[in-house]
Structure 1
Amino acid sequence: MLRRSLSTSTRLQSSKVWSDFSGSRPQSFSIPSAQIKRSILEGTPASGPPSIKRRFNRVKYTPPEHIDETFKLCYDFVESKAAQVYEKASKAQTVEEKEKLLAEAELHNPEVQYNFQYHDKLENDPRIIDYEQPVYRLLGKQHWESYGQMLLMQRLESLAVIPDTLPTLVPRTEVNIRFPFSTGINKWVEPGEILSTNATSLPPVFKIQEYEPVDPNTQYTILVVNPDEPDLANDTFTTTLSYGLANVKVSYNDNLVDSRKFDQSNVLVDYLPPVPEKNVGNQRFAVWVFRQRHPVEQPSGQLSRDNFDIRSFAKTQGLIPVGAHVWRSHWDSQADTIRAKYGLPAGRIFSRIRT
């Protein structure tokens, strides 16, 4: 049986856009494991697929009949098509057109597909999943839209974050949050999840993942608002600004917004942790990420947290909402401890009967 490693006389040298790494092809376009790469591109070895861990199962494995010849034929054909797309990309007139063609040229590359499908997409290693490359941004966007984006919008709408904070959102940027490990939780938070006051006692880390072509000088504003602060005087609720950051820069791969990575000039308002009062119920903490049209100027005085009008602020500053997130919190046994840690007054206790 012929192996995929054998070349054919009909294959043009100029069409080897995937297999020729003698030029400047990115490392992320190659499978990092040489053993797995050979198994995929050259055929399954007699010892079985290296991706199967147990030797007993590897030895038993029998590849489908003629899979090696079929794969080689398909690989050569699709690679030659990719060479044609690269030729078109070299003549593209706009950034958007070139980005689209470069992604199309690598979309069916089995090495690119393997790297994306079998490695961490959220905490990506740029040597394997490099979001600087258009094809990985395309794959990342498709993966996000297939589940994460729909889950986010369902939670924003079912929890009435839309329209209680902003009227709507066309999600263009994936936003994820997590809190420092020292608070007892070390995972990316699912939208709408209920977290303890201890888990949210320190400022969150934001991950802003862009999938569109974005100017590298683009800056972002991040606002965390609580629209469920009781307003007894008016028998309603008001919005409190829990955290505000502005003029933040990120890149496709270096996109973690961590309090250890920016300075006080980026802080509009210091982090105020969730400390809901007893019997208030769940409070929503909505995270909004905006692209800035221009740098946001620091207010002359301290930006007021109370009765914060996020719609007016976004309009005044020319902010474009591109992403969001939300978590919930309610009173628990650690709330008083967190209040004392931040020098906050004792919380009230609400009851069904007004006194």
Structure 2
Amino acid sequence: MAPSVRQFGACLRCVRQSAGANASLSGAPRRFLSSTPVTREEMQSQPSTPPPPSPPPAATPAAPAEAETAAKETPEYMQKWGNLDPEQVEWKRDERRLVRREGIQPVGSRRRRAVLHRSALNGAEQVPFEQLPYQCFQEARKVLLEDRQEKMKEIETMTLRINNLQAQGPAVSGSILAKEARLRSMRNHLNELILLADINDPMVKKRFEDGEGDMNKPIYRYLADQKWRKYKRLILEQRITQLNIVPDLLPALNPIADVDLGFGRKNVSPGEFVDSAISEKMPRLTVQTFQPGEKLVTVVVVDADVPVPEKDSFTYRCHFIASNILISPMQTSIPLQRIEQEDRKTKDTAARKIALPWTVPWAHKGAPYHRLAVFVLDQNEAKALNVVDIRKTKRDDFILRSFIDKHKLNPIGFSLFRTQWDDSMAGVMERAGLKDEIKVEFKRKRIEPLPHKRRTERMR
């Protein structure tokens, strides 16, 4: 048994049983802690006995041809990997192979998949998760069900109170402001009751851990928000403080959306150094919001470390601006490359989304690293911006504060990466039309020591 499942391979009763008389008399198969495939989660109302197997479909002449075509499309070395079940792969190598060959992510945690795999090897009985024959588990579910019924009654009562208050005139509540304050307080309490009704349900937690939660439901948005704030947001706040994004670019920044940045197949963590050959192409973004409804956002990429040798200081440069991009809790991807292709086909310039095309990040030889900040800005009241006016924005000396104030934007998401001179930077700059900048090299100015600290020939 693998080390990851050694402690959780079987229940305590089965561990205590020996392979002697008790096991031989009982003849019962060894029961593992969890032996339920994710695809059987919806069998709550069905009996535990499995349905009779359906007869195999009749073979058709087209079936062998389709199998041969699929086998030809898959390389031979990938076929040698064998069958990879997304619910039972337990090794990192098999997980990478599954994503590479099938394009499917593994389901659930690695520990649970390992238990399912071991139980399948031992021929354990497949029992749905909600029907696990553990007395404590079933009794706890009864308590949770009673609590949920109480919360549902409170939700109905609160909904009725809100409807009655909306139908009343403002004079009954005292004033319009007092009525709005009461409605806001009652709606907040209603949202809290909706979360409390499902937050202790084991099926809800299981679906969320398996990545099958519906983000249109408040409970899954809440769980995803809490998970993001406990780890990824803390790292993001640390990078914002360490790399002085505040106050260099903005006076304050409070991200409320999870932004995942990547280039091609490479995922980039906040503040990571990215090779210039990789960042030459347009990045890909995934923005997960935790609030209901659709939003129109603007994506801005700013270089915060453009050197100005004449003034011995730094300035800003805008590398990319795209506006009027629709996102929602279910629609998280921002395919910038596909948006660029659609803009090329659109003849109406006002209907395009990319205002300033992608400019490759570059740095001089010997200069400090450059911070490339990626901001996701929420457009006020989901109103579309005029891309023609934004196209007039100058790339050099770009001030993000002024841009946000001018267009009434609100930063909700943030990520960043860093770039510096590397072996492929010269080729990237040449392809970008920056041949004159390749020869520029920054060197540290030598500071002469004070006279009394100079070493004379006699001291040498």
State the TM-score bracket (shorter-chain normalisation). Answer: 0.7 to 0.9
Q: Corresponding residue for 2:434? A: 344
Encode CA deviations 1:94-134: one digit per residue, 9 max, x unaligned: 76554433332221121221122244xxxxxxxx1221111
Q: Is the Cα contact below 8 Å between 2:282 and 2:337 reproduced in 1?
A: no
Give the counterpart of 2:274 among 192, 195, 207.
195
Structure 2 counterpart of 1:76, one-letter code: K
Whole-angstrom distance in 2 between the partners of 1:282 and 1:37 = 56
Encode CA deviations 1:133-167: one digit per residue, 9 max, x unaligned: 11111110110011000000000110111111111
Whole-angstrom distance in 2 between the partners of 1:169 and 1:58 = 54
- C-alpha change, 1:335 and 1:37, in structure 2 (3 Å) is farther
Q: Corresponding residue for 1:70? A: 136
- Counterparts in 2 of 1:237-256, with a 5 A limit? 237-256=314-333
Q: Is the Cα contact below 8 Å between 1:239 and 1:306 reproduced in 2?
A: yes
Deviates more, 1:200-209 or 1:295-304: 295-304
**Structure 2 unmatched ranges of 5 or more:** 1-35, 49-111, 125-131, 163-183, 344-351, 447-460
Secondary structure at the counterpart of residue 212 of structure 1: coil
Whole-angstrom distance in 1 between the partners of 2:291 and 2:246 = 24
Deviates more, 1:97-106 or 1:140-149: 97-106
- C-alpha change, 1:96 and 1:334, in structure 2 (3 Å) is farther
Whole-angstrom distance in 2 between the partners of 1:223 and 1:143 = 26
Q: Is the Cα contact below 8 Å between 1:156 and 1:326 reproduced in 2?
A: no
Q: Alpha-carbon deviation of 1:36? A: 11
Whole-angstrom distance in 1 between the partners of 2:152 and 2:300 = 41
Q: Is the Cα contact below 8 Å between 1:222 and 1:288 reproduced in 2?
A: yes
Give the counterpart of 1:82 among 140, 148, 154.
148
Q: Is the Cα contact below 8 Å between 2:291 and 2:329 reproduced in 1?
A: no
- C-alpha change, 1:205 and 1:97, in structure 2 (3 Å) is farther
Encode CA deviations 1:221-253: one digit per residue, 9 max, x unaligned: 111101100011221000101111111111212
Q: Is the Cα contact below 8 Å between 1:31 and 1:37 reproduced in 2?
A: no
- C-alpha change, 1:67 and 1:56, in structure 2 (3 Å) is closer
Q: Is the Cα contact below 8 Å between 1:224 and 1:287 reproduced in 2?
A: yes
Encode CA deviations 1:277-297: one digit per residue, 9 max, x unaligned: 111121111111111113322
Q: Is residue 154 of structure 1 aligned with residue 238 of structure 2? A: yes
**Structure 1 unmatched ranges of 5 or more:** 1-29, 43-48, 61-65, 120-127, 181-185
Q: Higher Cα Rg: structure 1 or 2?
A: 2
> What is the aligned-residue RMSD (CA, Å)?
2.9
Structure 2 counterpart of 1:281, one-letter code: P
- C-alpha change, 1:31 and 1:86, in structure 2 (3 Å) is farther
Q: Alpha-carbon deviation of 1:57? A: 8.9
Determine which structure has greater relative contact order: mean sequence separation of CA pairs < 8 Å that are 6+ residues apart, divided by chain length: 1
Question: TM-score, normalized by length of structure 2?
Answer: 0.59
Q: Alpha-carbon deviation of 1:323? A: 1.5
- C-alpha change, 1:96 and 1:200, in structure 2 (3 Å) is farther
Structure 2 counterpart of 1:173, one-letter code: A
Secondary structure at the counterpart of residue 111 of structure 1: helix
Q: Alpha-carbon deviation of 1:31? A: 7.5
Q: Is the Cα contact below 8 Å between 2:198 and 2:219 reproduced in 1?
A: yes
